[in-house]
Amino acid sequence: MSVKQLLDLTDKVAFITGGSRGLGLQMAEALGELGASVAISARKQHELDAAKEHLEGLGVKVVTIAADLGNLEGIPAVVDQVVEQLGDIDILVNNAGATWGAPAEDYPAEGWMKVMNLNVNASFFLTQTVGKRCMIPRKTGKVINIASIAGLSGNPEGMQTIAYNTSKGAMVNFTRALASEWGRYNINVNALCPGFFPSKMSQGLLEAQGDSMLQRIPLNRFGGEEDLKGAAVLMASEAGRHITGQCLAVDGGTLVA
C-alpha cells in the first residue's frame, strides 16, 4: 500500500466535538481534505453554521449537531444523529473542552465541576457510546483525545488552571488505559497534546503573558492554523495503524525546554 493510500480517508466518517472553531475546525479541515465525511458538534448553532459553510467551500461533506455534551444524558441522541446522517463513526475526536482560572486555594466548586464534566466525563461517555455502537461490533476505529501539554506538566508562574491541568492529565491516562483494553478490537486510541495555540480559550492568557510564553518555546512561535493537521491525520488514518496508547506533544518543543 502506498503512503497516499495509507493516508486516504475516503468513505470514512469522522466525528469531531468542539469542531466549529479553533483546533477542532482545523482537524475537520484536514480529515475532510483527505476524503472523510465530517460531523461537528458545538453548543452554538451560529458558529456551526459558519463552520459548515467554510468546510463545504473546501469540498467537505459535513453535518452539524448543536449539543452541550456536558449534558451526559443527551450523548446517545447525539451519536444517533451522526449515524443516521453519515453512517457508523470510524474516527472520533474528543476535542470539546472548557477551562476556568482561579488560585487552587480558592478554586470554586462550580468551576471544577464544569471543567471535569466536559473535559473528562463527556469524553469518556461519548467514547463508550461510539465504541459500543460503531467500533467494537466492526472491530475497527480510531479515537483521538485532545489532551494538552498542561496534562503532562505543571504550570508556568501566573497560570492558575488546576482543574484544566487535572482534566488533561486524566485524558492522558484515559488514552493509555483504553488503548490497552480496546486493542483487541483493532481500535487505536491516541492523544494529541497541543502546546500554546492562539484560540478563543487561550486569548486572555496570551494577551497577558504571550511574550514570556514565547521565550519558553524552542521553535519561537505559537501553534498555527496548519500545525495540528498532520498529527491528526496520522492518528486518524491507516498510516498510524500500529500506534496506540501514545500521547504526542505538538508544542514547538515547550516540554523539552
pLDDT digits (tens, 9 = 90+) for 155-168: 776 779 999 999 99
Which of 40, 99, 118, 164 is catalytic? The answer is 164
**Predicted local confidence at residue 125, as pLDDT:** 98
185 is catalytic: no
Does the structure show a pLDDT above 90 at 108?
yes
pLDDT band at 134 (very low <50, low <70, confident <90, very high): very high
**Predicted local confidence at residue 207, as pLDDT:** 62
Cα 115 from Cα 208, distance rounded (Å): 22
**Predicted local confidence at residue 210, as pLDDT:** 61
Does the structure show a pLDDT above 80 at 209?
no
Model confidence pLDDT, tens digit, residues 8-39 = 999 999 999 999 999 999 999 999 999 999 99
pTM of the model: 0.95
CATH 3.30.470.30 for domain 3-250, yes or no, is: no
Q: What percent of the chain has pLDDT over 90?
A: 88
**Predicted local confidence at residue 45, as pLDDT:** 97
